[in-house]
Structure 1
Amino acid sequence: MKPALSDPEVAEWVERTKQVIAGEGGEVVNHEIWGRRKLTHLIGKAREGVYAYLKYRASPALLRKLSHNFSVAGDVLRNMTVVAQDRKYKAKEKKPKAPAQVS
Structure 2
Amino acid sequence: MYGITNCGSVKKARIFLEERGIDYEFIDFKKFPPTIELVKNWVEKQGIAKVVNNKGMTYKKLGLKDKNLSQEELLECCVQNPSLIKRPVVQRGDILLLGFDEEIYKENLC
- TM-score w.r.t. length of structure 2: 0.28
- Mark the structure with the bigger radius of gyration: 1
* Bigger helix fraction: 2
- TM-score w.r.t. length of structure 1: 0.30
Tell which has more relative contact order, 1 or 2 (C-alpha 8 A, sep 6+). 2
